[in-house]
Amino acid sequence: MMKIRRRELLKASAAIALAGSLPRLARGADTSGVYDLERFGNARILHTTDTHAQLRPVFFREPSVNLGVGAMAGQPPHLVGKAFLDRFGIRPDSADAYAFTCVEFEKAAPRFGKLGGFAHLKTLIDKLRADVGEKRSLLLDGGDLWQGTGLSNAMRGADMVEAANLLGIEAMTGHWEFTYGEQALRDNLARFKGEFLAQNVFLTEEAAFNDAKAFDPASGRVFKPSVIKEIGGHRIAVIGQAFPYVPIAHPKRFTPDWTFGIRDEELQKLVDGHRSNDKVDAVILLSHNGMDVDLKLASRVSGIDVILGGHTHDAVPQPISVQNAGGVTLVTNAGSNGKFLGVLDLDLGKGKVANVRYRLLPVFAELLKPDPAMQALIDKMREPHATEWSEKIGAADRLLYRRGNFSGTVDQLICDALLSELDTEIALSPGFRWGLTALAGQPLTMDDLLSETAITYPETYVATMTGGQIKDVLEDVCDNLFNADPYHQQGGDMVRVGGLAYTCSPAEPIGKRISELKLAHGKHLEAHKHYKVAGWASVNEQQGAPVWDVVAKHLRAGRPPNRDAPGVTLKGVEDNPGITGLG
């Protein structure tokens, strides 16, 4: 089985070089191995992001709905399915088509196997670093490294610090890292061998007044904003940009002393300083802004050569070039869950980047021999929980996946569990973009459930809300996703609903997107009537059981699966290439 898949992969992977397809030249000669890249330039930067602590290889289906509205409509990253393949010149039916899109996912998954895994990433990273020689490469991580599994949640990210050290990550920034709170974050950073960079995290005025700990008390910057690395005989400034909306998207209690934001004026000053005072040859922004925010930022801030982006989990095979006052900035986004490794080869001259080559390599687990030391570390860390979390508590009745703007079958399962276990009419579940895919028939374990739900505020709740309040919540979340100004978006997808159907017009302004709200039995939701609503992941403190226990209880009860279609009707996006059917 393994051998067949390996042959399939090799046969189908001629397109892999093409996917990173700036270098048309690179292809022809390159048949020796999928991961043998033609040498280019004098400095190599490797980029991982949003691995969400997935230490082991995963199935992860890319979205079939990833809409862009306004100026973002039809532009990368808002392309799915065939439109994506066409835009990036990827052959349908190829290994790349499987890695980058949802096209025929169920057929392709058994054929090409899982992607990612830290032991496999380690082998690939070591090879790509060895290929260019000593002191000619850098490994950067864009954050969301410490969260996403039962293990990382139980260890408050400490497992991922060990893995990051062994992988050789030299600098990172953060997002979910902050949800472990300041103490756990600082404890982890004390053991992290790389640098944690964030130019956009400052002490609040109260915290500064109380002399709270800061990297630079004068400016109030909590963390080191940037670092200068020497590679290939050249100096590269790497600036960290943490997720700008941590205290808004998550409970503020985790980061009471810190204030975030995009802060592009501070960023411009930092870039200018590195250019004029430090005389660096290149400036890289290691960003957790999300791709739309990065594209806007690239048009406003000048002097950055490349933005290595994450957060929105968009696997974009080619950098997007953005004009600004100082020239051009390239913007990338490197997918999620360890599926991809970004390879940025730079040809550096004095004070400038002469040329660039970028590839986003899918990490096919079956083409890479797992690194024994990393595998041993993963096994050792997982061992204390292995028995408890490997018990089978159910099976996937169909393909279970998370990603999509409006719904995913995993979230339908979670909503069903909330409705039946907490006995409410309506259920709400957050539109996270992490969380794995399970193939139909696959057994489900606690480990699997935790990979969909493991956060530090998993408590469920039952609340009474009026129809008007429910609509307001949907409008608010929808605006975070589809606001015409990327700086007013937070990333993440639409809140998932159970027991409720609605119509959404993404291109409308806030207050006008959501209509036709109906309960499961077809009755209209009334603005002033009260309804019982179940949910989890609230920014307010809640007391209910953790959501994974609620879902486990539901699965163990063996109730027949609810296969109703997700009740979202879309309007005004008929010709949008960011949709291939409501997945």
Partner 1 sequence: MSIMSPEFFANRRLVLKGIGVAALVGFGVIPLDVPQALAAANDKYPEEAFKQKTEAEAIKALYGKTPEASDKVKMDAPEIAENGAVVPIAVTTTLADVTSISFLVSENPITLVASYRIPAGTLPAVGNRIKMAKTSNVIVLVEAGGKLYSATKEVKVTVGGCGG
Q: Does 482 engage in binding with partner 1 (CB under 8 A)?
A: no
Least distance from C-beta 225 to partner 1, angstroms? 18
Q: Are 459 and 546 in contact (CB under 8 A)?
A: yes
Element (H, E) at 358: strand 352-362
Q: Are 33 and 94 in contact (CB under 8 A)?
A: no
Choices 100-108, 136-144, 256-264, 372-380; region in contact with partner 1 by CB under 8 A:
256-264
Q: Which is nearer to partner 1, 324 or 442 (CB)?
A: 324
Q: Which is nearer to partner 1, 220 or 232 (CB)?
A: 220
The 3-class SS string of 536-553 reads ECCCCCCCCCEHHHHHHH
Q: Are 149 and 455 in contact (CB under 8 A)?
A: no
Kindly give, in sequence order, each residue whose CB lies less than 8 Å from that of residue 191, ignoring residues fewer than 6 positions away: 158, 161, 162, 165
Task: With both helix axes pointing from N to C terminus, report the angle between 547-556 and 409-421 in degrees, rounded to the nearest 10.
Answer: 80
Choices 49-57, 93-101, 356-364, 483-491; region in contact with partner 1 by CB under 8 A:
483-491
Choices 120-128, 253-261, 277-285, 351-359; region in contact with partner 1 by CB under 8 A:
253-261
- Residue from 154, 463, 510, 545 binding partner 1 (CB under 8 A): 510
At 257, which amino acid appears?
Answer: D
- Residue from 7, 213, 488, 529 binding partner 1 (CB under 8 A): 488
- Residue from 21, 49, 429, 576 binding partner 1 (CB under 8 A): 429
Q: How far apart are CA 455 and CA 442, in angstroms?
A: 24
Least distance from C-beta 432 to partner 1, angstroms? 7
- Residue from 23, 74, 181, 261 binding partner 1 (CB under 8 A): 261
Q: Which residues within the stretch 447-476 sit at the binding site for partner 1 (CB under 8 A)? A: 472-474, 476
Q: Does 78 engage in binding with partner 1 (CB under 8 A)?
A: no
Nearest to 510 by CA among 470, 468, 480, 465: 480
Least distance from C-beta 481 to partner 1, angstroms? 10
Q: Does 247 engage in binding with partner 1 (CB under 8 A)?
A: yes
Q: Which is nearer to partner 1, 105 or 432 (CB)?
A: 432
Element (H, E) at 344: strand 340-349
- Residue from 186, 252, 269, 559 binding partner 1 (CB under 8 A): 252
Q: Does 479 engage in binding with partner 1 (CB under 8 A)?
A: yes
- Residue from 49, 490, 505, 580 binding partner 1 (CB under 8 A): 490
Please give the full DSSP string across 465-505, using - where no structure is assigned.
EEHHHHHHHHHHHHHHHH-SSGGG---SEEEEEESEEEEE-
Q: Are 552 and 517 in contact (CB under 8 A)?
A: no
Q: Which residues within the stretch 201-220 sit at the binding site for partner 1 (CB under 8 A)? A: 205-206, 209
Least distance from C-beta 248 to partner 1, angstroms? 5
Q: Which residues within the stretch 529-558 sit at the binding site for partner 1 (CB under 8 A)? A: 535-539
User: Which SS3 state, helix, strand or coil, does residue 323 take?
Assistant: strand
Q: Which is nearer to partner 1, 97 or 295 (CB)?
A: 295
Q: Does 272 engage in binding with partner 1 (CB under 8 A)?
A: no
Q: How far apart are CA 363 and CA 59, in angstroms?
A: 12
Least distance from C-beta 536 to partner 1, angstroms? 6
Q: Which is nearer to partner 1, 439 or 473 (CB)?
A: 473
Nearest to 194 by CA among 141, 130, 260: 141
Q: Which is nearer to partner 1, 412 or 445 (CB)?
A: 412
Least distance from C-beta 476 to partner 1, angstroms? 5
- Residue from 47, 78, 250, 288 binding partner 1 (CB under 8 A): 250
Q: Which is nearer to partner 1, 357 or 496 (CB)?
A: 496
Element (H, E) at 418: helix 409-421
- Residue from 431, 546, 566, 567 binding partner 1 (CB under 8 A): 431
Q: Which is nearer to partner 1, 431 or 467 (CB)?
A: 431
Can you say whether the dihedral through the CA atoms of 90, 84, 111, 453 is positive or negative?
positive
Q: Does 262 engage in binding with partner 1 (CB under 8 A)?
A: yes
Number of residues that bind partner 1 (CB under 8 A): 42
Q: Which is nearer to partner 1, 206 or 230 (CB)?
A: 206
Length of the chain: 583
Q: Which residues within the stretch 372-401 sit at the binding site for partner 1 (CB under 8 A)? A: none
Chain centroid to CA 265: 26
- Residue from 483, 503, 562, 569 binding partner 1 (CB under 8 A): 483
Q: Which is nearer to partner 1, 205 or 423 (CB)?
A: 205
Least distance from C-beta 64 to partner 1, angstroms? 21
Q: Which is nearer to partner 1, 72 or 353 (CB)?
A: 72
Nearest to 356 by CA among 398, 325, 321: 321
Q: How far apart are CA 120 and CA 291, in angstroms?
A: 26
Q: Which residues within the stretch 58-77 sit at the binding site for partner 1 (CB under 8 A)? A: none
Residue with tokens 């809640």: 542
Q: How far apart are CA 481 and CA 66, in angstroms?
A: 10
Q: Are 307 and 288 in contact (CB under 8 A)?
A: no
Least distance from C-beta 166 to partner 1, angstroms? 32
Element (H, E) at 284: strand 282-287
Least distance from C-beta 502 to partner 1, angstroms? 13
Q: Which residues of 208-228 are buried (b: 16+ CB within 10 A; e: fewer)?
A: beeebebbeeeebbbbebbbe
Least distance from C-beta 488 to partner 1, angstroms? 5
Tokens of 37: 């890249």
By the criterion CB under 8 A, which residues form the site for partner 1?
A: 205-206, 209, 244-245, 247-252, 259-262, 265, 428-432, 472-474, 476-477, 479-480, 483, 485, 487-488, 490, 492, 495-496, 510, 535-539
